[in-house]
Amino acid sequence: NGIWVQAQSRDQTRLALKRFSFAGEWLETPLVEQHTTWVNLHDNLKFVPDSKDFLWTSERDGHQHLYLYHAGRAVQLTEGTGRVNAIVHVEAACAMVLGWRDAATEQHLFRVWFDGREVEKLSDEAGWHDVVISPNGRHWVDRLTSLSQPPGLSLRSFQDGTDAALAPNTLVEGHPYHGFLDAHVAPQLGTLDAEDGQELHFRLTLPVEFDPNRRHPVLVNVYGGPGVQRVRNAWAPLTLQLFARAGIAIFELDNRGGSNRAKAFEDPLHGRLGEVEVTDQLRGVDYLRSLDWVDAGRIGVFGHSYGGYLTLLCLARGEGVFRCGVSQAPVTDWRLYDSHYTERYLGMPDANPEGYAASNVIDQLEGIEGALLVIHGMADDNVLFAHSTLLFKALQDRHKRFEMMTYPGAKHSLQERNVAIHRYQTILDFLRRELIQ
């Protein structure tokens, strides 16, 4: 009983779970999480029915695992190199969780018993599962997607294993996308190693008219920021097909700092942003240049938000490997961005001035090579338009030629219908001039 609160220190290295009475009186602090870099927030506090016990996930051993708190003691229920992402259902003797055990590119449903029995994997099909379980625990709705299958819904039974399609979304005749399948290119997944030996995952989408005996241009589509995983066994955004039909291969690499991996995979961002991310993206470019069909003189980089930030840094530090870049809604000075987000990784500005300076794009523009297109919504309430006006002025002061497209009234996503159409037309026109020809 009571109100449960997660209280975080300003430097985000300490998190305390506290319980208060409904009158606001502090009652107890059942647990404290601490880390030398930062403690990730989550919503994985769940209570065991008809009990004082509760469930919690923690990265205290380097991987996010499930813990049962019983009689003031924490019992670790999962272990290994996998990860528990979400607790979706709790019963008296077990919990249902979403996460992965063998491959971070897939998500599955597992049953975790409180008495130490072996963890059961309940979803068999390869791909990415998101699940909603009925309150009585008898059925579950499975939203499954894979590289070859857009998200579909099915109703499944825990009792007899029956499976009823609700909205299968299979690409059969009559499906809205069926007529486009002849030109659809299924992405491929692969891996390469970072300089510290950690495994990096990538997704590669070939051009529609791919010929292994010809050389093709490649667009490195980058996000690279914390809290995001792009490379998954899941249906990919159709924008990749747009570029593939234009004759461009699209390469996406989840660099160190991304989510759904071990804490050690995220932590290299601590104290300085834009360092290991660019190093890993350039390692991906080295891999591309080793492929016979890649035209090493026609490699571009494209990104939005954090990806727009990394696009600028890739052009600045790439030493000419990128022929062009498209930077959308980029962060250019972290002192102007969301404090809670920024301080998690860089700390307080007065405590880490060197890290803020090293992460600033503006001071690194001298090295920019290749054609550049900058796009930003003028009503962006996430990455303020001021980031790009600072960039425009700094590029002009350094006599750097660039193109820009701004959208009055458009916010951060730039997905308003007319904005999106015009934006992709602008990007494709730029790429045809600077990368494809």
Q: 130 an active-site residue?
A: no
Q: Which of 267, 359, 380, 388 is catalytic?
A: 380
Residues 6 or more apart whose CB falls under 8 angstroms from that of 73 comprise none
Q: Which of 58, 305, 327, 359 is catalytic?
A: 305
Query: Roughly how many angstroms between the first and final C-alpha of the chain, as a whole number?
Result: 67
**What are the backbone angles phi and psi of residue 394, rounded to the nearest 5°?**
-65, -40
Q: Which of 70, 139, 412, 422 is catalytic?
A: 412
Q: 270 an active-site residue?
A: no
Q: 201 an active-site residue?
A: no
425: which 2 tokens? 């037309």
Judge residue 39's burial from the number of C-beta atoms within 10 Å of its C-beta, 0-12 exposed, 13-18 middle, 19 or more buried.
buried
CA distance 368 to 330: 15
Catalytically annotated residues: 305, 380, 412
